[in-house]
Amino acid sequence: MSRTCPAVLTIAGSDSGGGAGIQADLHTFAACGVWGASAITALTAQNTLGVLATHTVPAPFVRAQIDAVMQDIHPTVWKTGMLATTDIIETVAHAAAEYAIPHLVLDPVMVATSGDALLEEDAHHALIHRLLPRATVITPNRAEAEALTGLLITSLDEMRAAARILHGIGGAAVILTGGHIEDPEWRGHAVDLFFDGTDMYLLAAERITTTNTHGTGCTFSAALAASLAQGLPLLTAAQHAKTFITHALRAAADYQLGRGHGPAGHFLLAQSAPLDPSLVRVVRLGW
Ligand SMILES: Nc1ncnc2c1ncn2[C@@H]1O[C@H](COP(=O)(O)OP(=O)(O)OP(=O)(O)O)[C@@H](O)[C@H]1O
Ligand SMILES: Cc1ncc(COP(=O)(O)O)c(N)n1
């Protein structure tokens, strides 16, 4: 008897260096044991030092890729990364509505670690008003949450305020990732904030000392999408994603790939011990 294979569709940009975007997503899906299909929104000529050039895919061709995957492979979870333009955002929002996709993980990619723009300025409005209302969960980092809310976010309290605003905009759950935030009470930890409109939790794990952080946000949200495709509830999926990225950053801490920010070690995970969920502390907060 044949088994169903959990599958995720990532709709994102290609990183020629392999550390972020579509490539990070597919590495992560494979490491998490789910099938990864892809619809590419843009080609970036990129390495660990930065983005040298971008070539955007026309929106109808993004739609053609989505249709080809959906009419045959039927992934139940979509994950979006670099969407580049308003046209592509609107195309993805339409398609998500037409296919009544059960879970959409929206990683609101705007700017690369290197500082290069990955989303047109005038596309922020479409991201908030067209796609966010279709999402199950949005996974902004500090800079993205600041751009979407207008708040300055330097502490856990400000993360909580931003999560409440973001939830209020589109009704999606929020996981505000705190790789670039150091709350004084949580020194030495990388802390993410989870808010689904009912419960607020903090997810904390050791902060790994490494410059190999390229694609960290993509990897976290891809692991989240993979866990949803495997049927885990959202908070459990978030815990798994946090465990996965902590292991992947640990695995990457002592190797060198490129001269800039090297990638997380998705592939090294397969060579080491199984994931240890006790690495992540989950603390319930009032809101
Ligand atoms: N140095 C670190 N040690 C441990 N975990 C980290 C570290 N940096 C980031 N993380 C974790 O990685 C995930 C993504 O975090 P982050 O907020 O850095 O996303 P991002 O800014 O989109 O990533 P990127 O650096 O790729 O742009 C979160 O779970 C965060 O807590
Ligand atoms: C195609 C693509 N998608 C996403 C990112 C963000 O990743 P990071 O913030 O680590 O640069 C990127 N650099 N390139």
**DSSP character string of 93-149:** HHHHHHTT-SEEEE----B-TTS-B-B-GGGHHHIIIIIGGG-SEE---HHHHHHHH
CB–CB of 152/165 below 8 Å? no
Is residue 287 scored above 80 in pLDDT?
no
Phi, psi for 225 (deg, rounded to 5): -60, -40
User: Ligand 2 pocket test: which of 14, 47, 80, 82 has the largest number of ligand atoms within 8 Å of its C-beta?
Assistant: 82
Does an H or E element contain 247, and which? helix 234-252
Tell how strand 51-56 and strand 281-285 pair up.
unpaired
Q: Which residue has the higher pLDDT, 287 or 35?
A: 35
Ligand 2 center–CA 188 separation, angstroms:
25
Residue nearest to ligand 1 atom 28, measured at CA: 177
What residues are in contact with ligand 2 under a 6 Å CB criterion?
A: 12-13, 15, 20-21, 44, 46, 81-82, 109, 112-113, 118, 214-218
Indicate the pLDDT class of residue 267, thresholds 50, 70 and 90.
Answer: confident
Ligand 2 center–CA 20 separation, angstroms:
5
pLDDT for 60 equals 98
Q: How much is the average pLDDT of 86-97?
A: 98
Q: Which residue has the higher pLDDT, 82 or 183?
A: 82
* Contacts with 106 (C-beta within 8 Å, 6 or more apart), sequence order: 80, 131, 132, 135, 137, 138, 139, 172
Averaged pLDDT score across all residues of the chain = 94
Is residue 157 scored above 90 in pLDDT?
yes
Domains belonging to the chain, first-starting first, are 7-285 (3.40.1190.20)
pLDDT for 11 equals 98
Quick one: which ligand is closest to 211's CA? 1
From 5-19, 37-51, 109-123, the region with the lowest mean pLDDT: 109-123
pLDDT for 1 equals 63
Is residue 273 scored above 80 in pLDDT?
no
Which atom in ligand 2 lies closest to the alpha carbon of residue 42? Answer: 1
Q: How much is the average pLDDT of 136-140?
A: 98
Residue nearest to ligand 1 atom 15, measured at CA: 179
Ligand 1 center–CA 271 separation, angstroms:
22
pLDDT for 253 equals 84
User: Ligand 1 pocket test: which of 139, 207, 245 has the largest number of ligand atoms within 8 Å of its C-beta?
Assistant: 245
Q: Position of tokens 């997380």?
A: 264
Could you tell me if the CB of 221 is within 6 A of ligand 1?
Answer: no
Is residue 83 scored above 70 in pLDDT?
yes
Is residue 271 scored above 80 in pLDDT?
no
Q: Position of tokens 């959202």?
A: 234
CA dihedral of 227, 231, 234, 239, whole degrees rounded to 10: -40
Distances 131 to 121, 222, 228 between C-alpha atoms, Å? 16, 18, 19
Q: Is the dihedral of CA 96, 87, 223, 27 positive or negative?
A: positive
- pLDDT above 70 covers a percentage of the chain that reads 98
Ligand 1 center–CA 36 separation, angstroms:
22
pLDDT for 230 equals 96
pLDDT tens digit sequence for 29-52: 999 999 999 999 999 999 999 999
